[in-house]
């Protein structure tokens, strides 16, 4: 599995690059994880309803091809894009989602924080507040898109949407839970958990 640290990159060209990578891959292509941050952007998934954007803002809205509803990306949020051949791992899609969530839950446990998944609403939650979102697209037995983990960011733009389509859903981040690491440091702590969860089964 190749790890690429891409830094702060615009959303749309990164999404197009994921599509191109997935279209070009074959059964021998190594999986890749891309670690990025994005300038402020709302993304609307395939099931997304525009009315979940509650008010007009200057933040661009991109209609994308991942699963799920609307979410927000911005500086201080770790985004991990996952180009994974899940058949090669011996996992189904639902199992893959659970394994990705478990990597975040295991990371939180390192900091003494109890997180949990939700079978009906993918992601990771702490005391009912969402700290990590998950949305994937399947093509050619492989995934793209991935995971976003709130580290140390301005959460205000979440208040202008129904996050993931849920009215009143609270969001939180590591900083509010007492973790003072920056995005890059959190990425380095998360990677071993992702590697463990994404090993062949």
Which ranges in the chain belong to alpha helices (H)?
A: 11-24, 86-89, 93-110, 183-197
* 190 is an annotated ligand-binding site residue: no
* 64 is an annotated ligand-binding site residue: no
Which one from 96, 142, 164, 186 is the annotated catalytic residue?
A: 164
* Residue 164 annotated as catalytic: yes
Strands (E), 21-151: 32-37, 41-44, 61-63, 70-73, 77-85, 124-126, 129-139, 142-150
Rounded Cα–Cα distance for residues 26 and 28 (Å): 5
Q: Hey, what's the torsion of the CAs at 132, 90, 109, 180, to 10 degrees?
A: -50
* 159 is an annotated ligand-binding site residue: no
* 178 is an annotated ligand-binding site residue: no
Q: Take residue 77 and report the two structure tokens written for it.
A: 């949020």
* 135 is an annotated ligand-binding site residue: yes
* 68 is an annotated ligand-binding site residue: yes
* 71 is an annotated ligand-binding site residue: yes
Positions marked catalytic: 164
Annotated binding site for substrate: 66-73, 133-135, 146-148
Annotated binding site: 66-73, 133-135, 146-148
């Amino acid at each position: 599995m190749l790890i690429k640290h891409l830094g702060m990159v615009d959303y749309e060209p990164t999404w197009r690059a994921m599509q191109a990578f997935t279209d070009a891959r074959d059964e021998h292509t190594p999986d890749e994880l891309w670690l990025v941050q994005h300038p402020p952007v709302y993304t609307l998934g395939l099931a997304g309803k525009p009315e979940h954007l509650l008010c007009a803002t200057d933040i661009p809205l991109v209609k994308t091809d991942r699963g799920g509803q609307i979410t927000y990306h911005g500086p201080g949020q770790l985004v991990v894009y996952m180009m994974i051949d899940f058949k090669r791992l011996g996992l189904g899609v639902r199992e893959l989602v659970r394994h990705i969530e478990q990597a975040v839950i295991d990371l939180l446990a390192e900091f003494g924080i109890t997180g949990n998944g939700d079978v009906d609403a993918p992601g990771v939650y702490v005391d009912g507040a969402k700290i990590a979102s998950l949305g994937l697209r399947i093509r050619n037995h492989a995934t793209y898109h991935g995971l976003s983990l709130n580290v140390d960011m301005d959460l205000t733009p979440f208040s202008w949407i129904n996050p993931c389509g849920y009215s009143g859903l609270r969001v939180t981040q590591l900083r509010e839970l007492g973790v003072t690491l920056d995005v890059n440091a959190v990425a380095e702590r998360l990677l071993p958990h992702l590697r463990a969860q994404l090993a062949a089964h």
